[in-house]
């Protein structure tokens, strides 16, 4: 058997031509070709040189939406809008002229009025008798064209948003750069250490409102910067620039905190402070700040009790009062005497007090600055704490406004005694700290009894109700809380928030409410919620520091806040 296979493999196969007569090739009639082209899914058509359709497949009829009888012998102007028919006619003429193949993108309106985008491949066929016919094949690209258009529009929109955001960030950076340059210029004009303490001076009557609005803007800047960082890798090129935006915004936070303090509504770092120590720490600075014509001395009391205050702001008060005394000395020489002592106030109006300030009965630390300057007449004395009022030729009239605002924030008062040609005495009274001062948290939050128990490794869930009249703040809070896993419901006023709360099922796990809102304040909103739902945790947010209203909140979140600070406050409220 194997030998036979070897013989077969060794001998090449030889084919002998067929000796019998071959049958003729089949001849196909028009019906056969019609069946062939009707089986093609793409629309196919044939036109004569008069642009009439003489042959087409069923797909062509279905695509245009007309019957074979309607189309046969007709041309483009009979079915299509004039502009489309003109294009078809011109393109057909081009094919007949070159006698070759063309591929064109065109628009075609079907019987239903739908405008389709097509690519048509056309060529010329010349029959044996010399008749020239145009053969076309249509491919619909409407969906892909629309997808390309949608993609381009989306790309253009993203480009526009990037340009707008970049322009906004550039504008913010430019403004901050201009502010820094202006501060640098002022620092060169006056002594560096003095301006470092005075750079945050502002109108205390307006500072609270300005800083509050600015804090809301900073919420948007810091919040969106944090959210942007959470969506990109640490080594992404944009990380550095977003970090720079955060750094600039954090610098602005310091400015708003000072403005709040000047207005008497600020968030201050309150702790026990020794006014003697505060004064002695800045003695070298004071000697540098005053005129060479002035002689500075002091009479400080032994064992002076502490006050509850912000040492940084108290530094500002002392500096402004001493500089004011120095500028009042216009003769060749003069004296400035600092005194500290304990005073008992029987309650009511403070003698020689500014703005008829009343204080409760009790012990107060007195810090006074006495100068031998030009003095003030009674009319002028009533105006010197008004913004932009100054007795000095080059004075800006802001230092004493800041002093009054800071002292008010420390529950104290300012008194002034002055006589023309004799000099002036400015006295600051601040309450003595209680023997047992309760700890004051940096964010001024009030710790309430724990009413919830959540596992710390359990992801957040449930609904959070956000009540804030600023859309920018609501938007940032919504995005941050969503990242943490919460669903968020929003209300732009206290009344709207309470109404929404009544209809939320299930009940929200947390309420975030702004303190300062028109019509109904955050304190009123919290009061109403507490009366009906005492177990519901509340986070109070504000650019102000009204401590009286905080007693209604579980946690206080000062504006502006970052993503991490919000997370921390949420944990305090929920993760007991």
Rounded Cα gap, residues 315 and 566, in angstroms: 31
Please tell me the predicted confidence (pLDDT) of residue 97.
92
Please tell me the predicted confidence (pLDDT) of residue 442.
33
Rounded Cα gap, residues 498 and 475, in angstroms: 19
Rounded Cα gap, residues 85 and 93, in angstroms: 12
pLDDT bucket at 559, cuts 50 / 70 / 90 = confident
pLDDT in tens, 37-68: 888 889 999 999 999 999 999 999 999 999 99
Unique residue bearing structure tokens 């001998």: 11
CATH for 463-574 (3.40.50.2300, 3.40.50.720, 3.40.190.10, 3.10.310.30): 3.40.50.2300
Please tell me the predicted confidence (pLDDT) of residue 133.
94
In this prediction the pTM is: 0.43
The CATH class for the domain spanning 30-140 reads alpha beta
Please tell me the predicted confidence (pLDDT) of residue 175.
85
Cα-flanking dihedrals φ and ψ of residue 16, to 5°?
A: -100, 135
Is residue 526 predicted with pLDDT exceeding 70? yes
CATH for 271-431 (3.40.50.970, 3.30.565.10, 3.90.650.10, 3.40.50.1370): 3.30.565.10
pLDDT in tens, 200-256: 333 444 656 666 676 777 777 877 888 888 888 888 888 888 888 878 877 777 666
Rounded Cα gap, residues 167 and 177, in angstroms: 15
Please tell me the predicted confidence (pLDDT) of residue 391.
53
Domain ranges of the chain: 30-140, 160-263, 271-431, 463-574
Strands (E), 49-101: 53-56
Helices (H) and strands (E) in the chain, counts: 19, 19
Strand duo 510-514 + 413-419: pairing: unpaired
What is the helix (H) or strand (E) element at residue 566, kind and residue range?
A: helix 563-574
Please tell me the predicted confidence (pLDDT) of residue 332.
80
Is residue 24 predicted with pLDDT exceeding 60? yes
Least confident of 13-22, 28-37, 93-102: 13-22
DSSP 471-482: HHHHHHHHHHHH
């Amino acid at each position: 058997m194997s030998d036979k296979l070897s013989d077969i493999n060794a001998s090449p196969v030889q084919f002998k031509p067929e000796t019998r007569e071959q049958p003729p090739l089949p001849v196909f009639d028009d019906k056969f070709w019609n069946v062939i082209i009707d089986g093609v899914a793409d629309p196919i058509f044939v036109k004569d040189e008069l642009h009439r359709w003489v042959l087409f497949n069923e797909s062509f009829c279905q695509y245009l939406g007309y019957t074979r009888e309607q189309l046969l012998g007709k041309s483009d102007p009979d079915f299509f809008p004039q502009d489309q028919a003109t294009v078809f006619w011109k393109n057909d003429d081009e094919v007949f002229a070159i006698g070759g193949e063309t591929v064109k993108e065109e628009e075609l309106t079907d019987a239903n009025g739908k405008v389709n985008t097509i690519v048509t491949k056309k060529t010329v066929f010349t029959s044996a008798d010399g008749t020239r016919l145009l053969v076309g094949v249509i491919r619909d690209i409407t969906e892909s064209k629309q997808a390309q258009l949608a993609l381009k529009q989306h790309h253009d929109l993203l480009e526009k948003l990037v340009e707008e955001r970049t322009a906004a960030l550039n504008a913010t950076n430019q403004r901050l750069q201009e502010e820094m340059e202006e501060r640098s210029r002022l620092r060169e004009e006056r002594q560096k250490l003095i301006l470092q303490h005075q750079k945050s001076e502002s109108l205390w009557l307006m500072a609270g409102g300005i800083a509050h609005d600015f804090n809301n803007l900073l919420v948007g800047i810091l919040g969106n910067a944090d959210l942007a960082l959470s969506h990109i890798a640490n080594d992404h090129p944009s990380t550095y620039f977003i970090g720079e935006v955060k750094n600039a915004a954090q610098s602005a936070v310091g400015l708003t905190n000072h403005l709040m303090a000047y207005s008497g509504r600020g968030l201050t770092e309150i702790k026990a402070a020794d006014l003697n120590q505060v004064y002695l720490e800045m003695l070298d600075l004071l000697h540098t700040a005053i005129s060479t014509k002035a002689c500075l001395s002091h009479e400080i009391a032994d064992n002076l009790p502490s006050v509850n205050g912000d040492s940084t702001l108290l530094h500002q008060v002392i500096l402004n009062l001493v500089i004011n005394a120095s500028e009042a000395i216009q003769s060749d020489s003069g004296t400035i005497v600092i005194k500290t002592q304990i005073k008992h106030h029987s309650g009511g109006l403070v003698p020689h007090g500014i703005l008829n300030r009343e204080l409760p009965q009790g012990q107060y630390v007195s810090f006074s600055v006495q100068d031998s300057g030009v003095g003030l007449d009674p009319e002028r004395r009533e105006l010197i704490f008004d913004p932009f009022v100054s007795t000095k030729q080059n004075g800006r009239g802001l230092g004493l406004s800041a002093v009054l605002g800071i002292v008010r924030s420390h529950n104290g008062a300012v008194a002034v005694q002055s006589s023309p040609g004799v000099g002036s005495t400015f006295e600051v009274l601040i309450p003595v700290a209680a023997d047992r001062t309760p700890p004051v948290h940096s964010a001024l939050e009030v710790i309430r009894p724990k009413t919830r128990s959540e596992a710390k490794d359990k992801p957040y869930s449930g609904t959070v109700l956000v009540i804030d009249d600023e859309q920018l703040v609501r938007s940032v809070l919504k995005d941050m809380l969503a990242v943490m896993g919460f669903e968020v419901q929003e209300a732009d006023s206290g009344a709207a928030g309470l109404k929404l709360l009544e209809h939320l099922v299930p009940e929200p796990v947390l309420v975030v409410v702004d303190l300062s809102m028109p019509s109904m304040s955050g304190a009123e909103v919290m009061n109403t919620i507490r009366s009906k739902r005492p177990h519901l945790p509340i986070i109070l947010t504000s650019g102000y520091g009204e401590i009286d209203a905080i007693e209604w909140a579980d946690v206080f979140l000062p504006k502006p806040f970052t993503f991490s600070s919000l997370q921390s406050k949420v944990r305090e409220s929920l993760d007991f």
